[in-house]
Amino acid sequence: MLQKQDGYSCEAGIEAEMAVNNRHCKLNSFTRLAVLASGSGTNLASLIDAVKTGIIENAAIALVISNKKDAYALTRAEKAGIPILYAQRSLFNSDEEYDLFLKKKLNDYKIDFVLLAGYLRILTKPFLQAYENRILNIHPSLLPDFGGKDMYGTKVHQSVIEAKVKKSGCSVHVVTEEIDGGPVLSQATVPVMPDDTSETLAARILIEEHKLYPKTINEFIKDK
């Protein structure tokens, strides 16, 4: 177990990683994915399933990272036997230092691609450059609409409802320095109903997210 003075705690250690490797990864021939999540992790759950069922081919989720200690995503990962890392921002002097630390961990775990799944931090340059064109995100709107700074969670759906648009959906995009501005790889559309609340709309979109993200990831990593 790594200690807090190292700047983080790693609950499931190397043994867990080896267990995962033995089960899912023949090192080298498997693409190693890391998922960064801050919340409940329903997208993470769909990615775990997709790896298991082969919707995402020849890949393993080798590490799940969160900036929130109580993120249910971490519990889901632990239950699936995936190593987890909780990294507390306040233990670092700057966002860059924090991200450099994450980058080092991703390097230790030999991560090929980073998947953001409800990760509520903006990644800084050193991280983005290290994983240029290898970080994907899913956003719960039809980008470029209803994206950008402070557009996350219920705010997105509330804005969609207030704008009285007839459809919304989700977008998978490559992560670049521009928030929600990287190339869009895929989208799924849902209707916005007259009596929708942000909760009902979010739930309708999440169903699509859970299908779209795994399929898009599979296509993306196959091409690389």
* Residues designated catalytic: 139
Peptide bond into 144 cis (omega under 30): yes
Residue 209 CA to residue 188 CA, distance in Å, equals 8
Residues that bind ligand GRF (CB under 6 A): 37, 39-43, 117-118, 138-140, 170, 206, 209
- The residue assigned the tokens 């890949």 is 59
Other Cβ atoms closer than 10 A to 97: 14
Closer CB to ligand GRF, residue 83 or residue 118?
A: 118
Concatenating the DSSP letter of every residue in 68-88 gives: -TT-HHHHHHHHTT--EEEE-
Closer CB to ligand GRF, residue 60 or residue 143?
A: 143
Closer CB to ligand GRF, residue 25 or residue 82?
A: 82
Between CA 110 and CA 26, with CA 126 as vertex, the angle to 5 degrees is 10
Least Å from the CB of residue 53 to ligand GRF: 18
Least Å from the CB of residue 41 to ligand GRF: 5
